[in-house]
Amino acid sequence: MNWVKSWIRYLFWNSLERRLRTAWRVALYSALWVMIQVVSAVVIKSPATTALAIFFPAFALIAGALLFYAVNLLLVISMTWLVTRQIDQRALTDIGLRLDGRWVADLCFGLLLGAGLMTLIFLAELGLGWLSITAYLHTTVPNTPFRVAIWQPIFLFLAVGINEEILSRGYQLRNLAEGLNSSVISPQSAVIIAWLLSSLIFGFLHIFNPNSTWVSTLALMLAGIMLGLGYVLTGRLGLPIGLHITWNFFQGSVYGFRVSGNDLSNTSFMTIEQTGPSLWTGGAFGPEAGLIGIVALLLGMLLIGGWVQGRYGTIAIQPALARYHDVRQSLSTEK
């Protein structure tokens, strides 16, 4: 029986690092992340929503959504802090959330990059006659002015951008890289493999989205590679978080495109009608599944490389992402 206990312990426990093995950490965190998406919905019809609607009547019809996104984000960050401390035995800063000056600069660049890339897609399709603008400052929220209704997608894309980057890049990529790092796989190679694996998972996470196809899934894997590039080159989540937020917001709530198959143009600065070829525009899934979107993703990677070169002085995969540091060292660095 002793050998059975030893084998079970070996299967689940990394004795050298004194923590759960990589696969179990990633599985546990991912399960908790999904659970939070469900638990957060409780707030929608809670007394808190009623109170918000009473004190801010202009937000009455979107109060539940605003609270859902805010609570969801708070729970994900809190859960991430707890898991990194208690399960991963590391500091929260180790997954790319060290909020220093460079982090903020990367965030700002990411915000500008996401907005710029989606603007180029819009202008290209408009110039080619593949879309027409049908309305401005549009909202379908009854008795709610646009200036109020627009806060719903703002909160949505803030929550999605931060939550998904913490999940896919900060947690999954970092832990996979540490698990792959060995005498056979170098730290740099481990980071690259983990980057590709996390991008693969990111693509498959959207496989059940409306209008999803194998082409859109592959395209979102490429999007994951672009989002992960800023992380593997800087070791910080600032750039991918900023890029993710404005890519989605400008896509759905500024220019009225579908966002990964979802029609989120119920409140947008403009609504559009697309007539161009689906091969290029992405059709019902949105620009990410079209050739024009793929060109934008590749351009984004080039611009990320240029930013990192100019800001950090070199373009190199960060091997530190594959190296586990003792929790006491990490926590002393965080203080």
Q: Per-residue pLDDT averaged across 270-291, rounded? A: 92
Residue 107 in any domain: the answer is yes
Angle made by CA atoms 130, 136, 137, in degrees to the nearest 5 = 135
Closest Cα to residue 88, out of 174, 167, 19, 158?
A: 19
Whole domain around residue 263: which residue ranges? 99-323
pLDDT, one tens digit per residue, over 70-122 is 999 999 999 999 999 999 988 899 999 999 999 999 999 999 999 999 999 99
- Residue 246 near residue 111 (C-beta atoms within 8 A): yes
Residue 14 domain-assigned (yes or no): no
For 164, the token pair is: 């998904």
CB-based contact 49:67 (threshold 8 Å): yes
Q: Indicate whether 231 belongs to any domain.
A: yes
Residue 284 near residue 211 (C-beta atoms within 8 A): yes
Question: Which tens digits make up the pLDDT trace of 204-236?
Answer: 888 888 888 889 999 999 999 999 999 999 999
**Mean local confidence (pLDDT), 299-324:** 95
- pTM for this entry: 0.92
Domain membership of residue 145 (yes or no) is yes
Average pLDDT over residues 143-152: 94
Q: Give 18-50 pLDDT, tens digit per residue.
A: 888 899 999 999 999 999 999 999 888 888 888
Examine residue 131 and state whether it is found in any structural domain, yes or no: yes
Residue 165 lies inside a defined structural domain of this protein: yes
For residues 219-243, one letter each, b for 16 or more C-beta atoms within 10 angstroms of the residue's C-beta and e for the rest, the string is bbbbbbbbbbbbbbbbbbbbbbbbb
Give the bridge partners for 135, in sequence order. Answer: 271
- Tell me, what's the pLDDT at 334? 45
The verdict on residue 111 lying in a domain is: yes
Q: Tell me, what's the pLDDT at 327? A: 60
**Count of structural domains within the chain:** 1
Does 56 fall in a domain?
A: no
Residues facing 20 on adjacent strands: 13
Residue 329: pLDDT above 60? no
